[in-house]
Amino acid sequence: MSGKGHLTIVGAGLAGGLLATLLAQRGWQVDVFERRGDPRVKGYAGGRSINLALAERGLHALRAAGADGAVLDKAVMMRGRMVHSLDVGEQLLRYGKDDSEVIWSVSRGELNITLLHAAERAGAKLHFDQRLESVDFDAKRAMFVDDTDGKRTEHAFTALLGADGAGSALRAAMKSRAGFDERIESLGHGYKELEIPPTADGDFRIEANALHIWPRGHYMCIALPNDERTFTVTLFLPLEGEPSFANVRTGADARALFQRDFADAVPMIPDLDADFESNPVGTLSTLYLDRWHLDGRAVLLGDAAHAMVPFHGQGMNCAFEDCVALADHLDASHDGGTPDLAQAFEAFERERLPNARAIQAMALENYLEMRARVDDADFLLQRDLERE
Ligand code: FAD
């Protein structure tokens, strides 16, 4: 270890795992504190979207950490959107002219585990069952709690890097210290996950190399393939109105909705009623924050800084780009002497905040396109013409 300095990451999720790897590879001494248990031992307990679309932005960041090969080994390629429309039937809308422009479906749990192995291999120290509870920014001490036994541990830090997700405890601590301007806008729509299992022969039930969409105007279903030949189906519905999660509440309600609006999917989801009743409704919102750092003592990245709705499939991709940018700015502030962390955090925020805002806006716009416009024959024709 060249001893560039010590950094403490809060959260060993997707951004935390990648950032720890990049920083440790570049010679920083890194401690990572994660509130959950080690998923490599206890199994993944993420509780949100089982698979994710990995695009070139995210892949580029994984390449920088040398983790792309291990991730792609278990990923399923998606060459376009397979639109299941009520009038036109199934239609594949390619993402590019050929398979050089594709996205990848990856398992959140496997990706997280790959990144934790990479972080540890690079020399980062991982501490599990350690939830950030409070921060004393003057004394530079953070308090962590082990929720399995209630034990509290104090940790002295040089700087805290907040990769602790949309409900970030570090963001709350920074906000109460420095009065950040925070706005959280709920989309008014939620989601629920269901599963399409493999066929009796162990094969995919529908086209494997596509992101499937059933657009239905104000709501929609999507399905992404998993490498064990299942699909994770996500039903997006408004929280109020007709239909909505307010009136589609039971398995029987869900079956009736599917029989009416997603009839071709019904035979493929044998456990529809049970899955619907046992899986929670996830909520969706956009987080707008006017500042991401507190001088050289703390900085936020990923969902902790800019949570967004998932319709561009870019939350993780954007979080991965943050990791590379932050590692680059930290390196640039170093020049062999004591690193100027405040300058690095400021430069990181200046570069990434406008990008995050742009992606957040695109993600909101894309919900309209996915649930409605991809079902519009004129729109499809126009898109195909533009591509030629
Ligand atoms: P997280 O992945 O949430 O990780 C935060 C980590 O911090 C967790 O491990 C958590 O346990 C830990 N933590 C939390 N609080 C504390 C604490 N107090 N102390 C210590 N540790 C703590 N993005 C894409 O790019 N493509 C997609 O296809 C896509 N699909 C999505 C579908 C859905 C339904 C949803 C909800 C999101 C989707 N996203 C997608 C977005 C993506 O999930 C997030 O942007 C990404 O997980 C952000 O990574 P993160 O590391 O910032 O946060």
Question: Is residue 161 in a domain?
Answer: yes
Does residue 252 belong to any structural domain of this protein?
no
User: Using one digit for the tens of pLDDT, what is the confidence trace for 201-222?
Assistant: 999 999 999 999 999 988 999 9
Ligand 1 contacts CB of residue 315 (under 6 A)? yes
Task: Establish if 142 belongs to a structural domain.
Answer: yes
pLDDT in tens, 73-118: 999 999 999 999 988 889 999 999 999 999 999 999 999 999 999 9
ipTM beyond cut 0.90: yes
Question: Is residue 190 in contact with ligand 1, taking CB distance under 6 Å?
Answer: no
CA of 79 from ligand 1 middle (Å) equals 25
Task: DSSP for 285-312, please give it.
Answer: EEEEES--EETTTEEE-THHHH---GGG
User: For ligand 1, atom 9, which residue shows the shortest CA distance?
Assistant: 13
Please check whether residue 338 lies inside any domain of the structure: yes
Quote the ligand 1 centre to 131 CA distance (angstroms): 15
What residue ranges of the chain have pLDDT lower than 70?
1-2, 44-49, 373-388
Q: Is the CB of 52 under 6 A from ligand 1?
A: yes
Q: Tell me the C-alpha distance between 151 and 148, whole Å.
A: 8
The answer to the question of residue 281 being in a domain is no
Is the Cβ atom of 10 under 6 angstroms away from ligand 1?
Answer: yes
Domain that holds residue 20: 6-72+96-184+287-366
Give the pLDDT of residue 18: 98
Domain membership of residue 134 (yes or no) is yes
- For residue 310, the domain's CATH number is 3.50.50.60
CB-CB contact of 185 with 288 (8 Å): yes
The kind and range of the H/E element at 329 are: helix 315-332
User: Based on the structure, what is the number of domains in the chain?
Assistant: 1
C-beta of 13 in contact with ligand 1 (< 6 A): yes
Kindly report the pTM of this predicted structure: 0.95
Q: Is 98 exposed, middle or buried (0-12, 13-18, 19+ CB in 10 A)?
A: exposed
Question: In this predicted structure, what is the pLDDT of residue 45?
Answer: 65
Q: Is residue 251 part of a domain?
A: no
Residue 315 lies in a domain: yes
